[in-house]
Structure 1
Amino acid sequence: MEENFAVIVPARDTEKVRFELQSRGLLDRRRKFVSRIVEGGSFVEIPVTDLVSGYEIKLQEQPEFYRQQMSLKERLAGKMNPEELEIIPSGWQILGNIIVVTISEKIIHRRLEIAEELLDMYPACDTVVRDLGIKGSLRQPKRQLVIGNTTETIHKENGCYFKLDVTEVMYSKGNLREKNRMSKLGTGEIVVDMFAGIGYFSLPMAVHSQPEQIYSIELNPVSFGYLKDNIRLNNVQHIVQPLHGNCAEITPKGVADRVIMGYVGGTADYLPAAIGALSKNGGILHFHEALAENLMFERPIGQIKKEAKMQGRTVEIMECRSIKKYSPGVWHVVVDARIW
């Protein structure tokens, strides 16, 4: 689904913030401002088109629109039979000027009609790509071009630019809050970003927090190429140093104030390198993993403490967070640990 974000501000600051957001092209004019009373205080939710640093962000689950837009199913009613309408997509992802949508094989013969209606709903987009899931250990997307001339785009998020080919590189919008949170950390620090991808965590941190140095490590050659492009695109060459290779082998040792392990699926295998990357004075580890509900958060905490003990180090668990549902009964979680 398209995410409908809003910044939450004290009611007295509404006009000032509205003017700022409007001048930056971030005000979403389709949605209404919503007033809220929180613990006796008066606040306003101002709708925005992207994540905005420096403000509390809320994902509006039931946004209030000035004029309710027809759903894709409503647009196609009368053009398709009831059985086809039942399996019309109800959600999709917008990356730059590209709409990525899952279309059932049962209505694949209707893909052009579906794509044309989606493009009519989003005039700024000119390309539709069908999503077929994920393949391989590098989690590469399986996708097919439906309408358009190219699958490469530049997606803007939280004031950063991400160049990518949507048929070659995964881009998850499900952990936007976590990326926004991380963009506020790391000022003046040396950071190691393992599994950096195209710069999902490295770029927002470099742009907004200005660390002293970020070592961004990526194995996938296609993602690594886009990582280098995006470092230049966001003008953070002086902060981000891209490293191509396996994190278990090329992670710098004993240098980091902060280590990001933003990958799910066997992340614990890389804990020796991650903890070894922290300086002798210690630092903070952000450990991501996909876990069954009955293993949250006991298993990752145990894995971190076990490896830290093997390296003669001490652990303090700072915070545990659930990011999103990864699959039925499985959650993407993050554990923040201070290690010295």
Structure 2
Amino acid sequence: MALLPTGSFTNIPWTTTLQGVGQDARERLWSRILKELSRQAKEPLTHLAVNEGIPLHKAGGEAEENVLRSPSGLRTFYGDFGPTSTSTEGPSQQDFDSTLWVSTKQNGIFQTWAPRWTMFSRGNVKEKARLLDMGDTVKGGNQDEKWAVDLYAGIGYFVFSYARLGLRVLCWEINPWSVEGLRRGARANGWSVRIVQGDDLTLPEEEILSGEEQIIVFLESNEEALRRIQSLQAQGTARDVRHINCGFLPTSEPTWRHTWDMSASSSETRLHLHENVGANDTETRRSKIQHIFDGWGEDTGRAAEVEHVELVKTFAPGVWHCVFDVRVYNI
């Protein structure tokens, strides 16, 4: 698939040219563009679309927030991208099978997604690489007992970096299309994966983990994550959590208290808290986050330090997508 930048074909002379020709001529044009682009691609390109920003609200003029981050503004030009709608109960296996799935490779890791149904943020490649460079944070202890948690798993953006480091990963995601992309991507990279959904969500946590899969994905709200993790920790599992990822914009703050509690049984955990922050406000926000965690650490024998602020990419003029690395440790 060729995914062109936002705004492609919306300016003169494209608009006047396209208005003056029929559908057959347009099809020939799109086919020719794909043919020319294929000369530089590793594989023939069969589909053409134009990327657009992820809308804040659901399609159709509804005021409800687009919490699934569905790319409803995607403009498709050539090729079959699959069904445009699914049942109210969510996508079926037939929907998955009839949808276009594409893959790319970043940092030597495959990622897979359905362009009609899930976003792909190529700008996160630097943050994925940064996590891969944190091998020193997973040294020591029993390798089979080291864990990471991703509370906004998506298609596995950061999940796969933790898996590459050798950690077992507990994930939460509410978009079934993202979960299916994560499953396919994990398989492509050679990692075992279990999707926990439907009736399986009522199973005891120890039974869910009994298969020893490296990646376990709960298709449910991350509001359930703390309860599940504390249940596992009470049974002696997932007590050594090395990393917790909170990759939600514009802010992941609603999950921060839970990350503090999830890390209670670990001697040292690194939290990666994603935020959109004004370009001149990063140090102010850093101090605020430090103050929040200092309050939680009082009289607990634990402490936290905002040890790094990573500027991932510009989100909008004057706004940075930042990651605040918070090291939580025993005193």
TM class by shorter chain equals: 0.5 to 0.7
Partner of 1:330: 319
Partner of 2:310: 321
Task: Indicate if the aligned counterparts of 2:304 and 2:326 stay in contact, CA closer than 8 A.
Answer: yes
Q: Distance in 1 between matches of 2:277 and 2:124?
A: 16
| Residue aligned with 1:265, SS | coil
Of 285, 292, 298, which residue of structure 2 is paired with 1:299?
285
Q: Size of the alignment, in residue pairs?
A: 242
Task: Indicate if the aligned counterparts of 1:119 and 1:127 stay in contact, CA closer than 8 A.
Answer: no
Of 134, 149, 157, which residue of structure 2 is paired with 1:192?
149
Partner of 2:110: 161
Matching of residue 210 in structure 1 with residue 210 in structure 2: no
Shift of 1:330: 0.7
Of 296, 301, 304, which residue of structure 2 is paired with 1:310?
296
Partner of 2:207: none
Matching of residue 277 in structure 1 with residue 262 in structure 2: yes
Q: Could you give the per-residue CA deviations for residues 96-117 of structure 1, whole angstroms, max 9, x where no partner exists?
A: x332332254445656447733
Partner of 2:80: 149
Q: Distance in 2 between matches of 1:307 and 1:249?
A: 22
Partner of 1:245: 220
Shift of 1:278: 1.0
Q: Distance in 2 between matches of 1:311 and 1:249?
A: 23
Q: Distance in 2 between matches of 1:220 and 1:301?
A: 33
Shift of 1:249: 2.6
Of 117, 132, 155, which residue of structure 1 is paired with 2:33?
117
Shift of 1:139: 1.9
| Residue aligned with 1:269, SS | helix
Partner of 2:174: 219
Task: Indicate if the aligned counterparts of 2:308 and 2:325 stay in contact, CA closer than 8 A.
Answer: yes
TM-score (normalizing by structure 2): 0.66
Aligned-pair Cα RMSD in Å: 2.4
Q: Distance in 2 between matches of 1:162 and 1:284?
A: 24
Q: Could you give the per-residue CA deviations for residues 209-229 of structure 1, whole angstroms, max 9, x where no partner exists?
A: 112x11121121211222222
Q: Distance in 1 between matches of 2:103 and 2:17?
A: 28
Pairing 1:33-112 to 2, within 5 Å after superposition: 97-102=1-6, 103-106=8-11, 107-108=14-15, 112=26
Shift of 1:242: 1.1
Task: Indicate if the aligned counterparts of 2:191 and 2:215 stay in contact, CA closer than 8 A.
Answer: yes
Partner of 1:65: none
Partner of 2:48: 128
Larger % of strand: which? Answer: 1
Task: Indicate if the aligned counterparts of 1:219 and 1:244 stay in contact, CA closer than 8 A.
Answer: yes
Query: Residues 257, 305 of structure 1: CA spacing in aligned structure 2 closer, same or farther, 3 A cutoff?
Result: farther
Which 5+ residue runs of structure 2 have no aligned equivalent? 19-25, 56-65, 82-99, 193-212, 234-238
Partner of 1:44: none
TM-score (normalizing by structure 1): 0.64
Q: Distance in 1 between matches of 2:31 and 2:311?
A: 34
Task: Indicate if the aligned counterparts of 1:308 and 1:339 stay in contact, CA closer than 8 A.
Answer: no
Partner of 1:79: none
Larger % of helix: which? Answer: 2
Q: Distance in 2 between matches of 1:248 and 1:110?
A: 51
Pairing 1:247-262 to 2, within 5 Å after superposition: 247-251=222-226, 252-253=229-230, 255=239, 256-262=241-247
Query: Residues 308, 223 of structure 1: CA spacing in aligned structure 2 closer, same or farther, 3 A cutoff?
Result: farther
Task: Indicate if the aligned counterparts of 1:195 and 1:217 stay in contact, CA closer than 8 A.
Answer: yes
Shift of 1:230: 2.1
Task: Indicate if the aligned counterparts of 1:154 and 1:163 stay in contact, CA closer than 8 A.
Answer: yes
Task: Indicate if the aligned counterparts of 1:164 and 1:226 stay in contact, CA closer than 8 A.
Answer: yes
Q: Distance in 2 between matches of 1:104 and 1:140?
A: 22
Query: Residues 109, 118 of structure 1: CA spacing in aligned structure 2 closer, same or farther, 3 A cutoff?
Result: farther
Q: Higher RCO, 1 or 2 (CA under 8 Å, sep at least 6)?
A: 2
Task: Indicate if the aligned counterparts of 2:293 and 2:304 stay in contact, CA closer than 8 A.
Answer: no
Q: Distance in 2 between matches of 1:201 and 1:108?
A: 39
Shift of 1:126: 2.2
Q: Distance in 2 between matches of 1:119 and 1:306?
A: 54
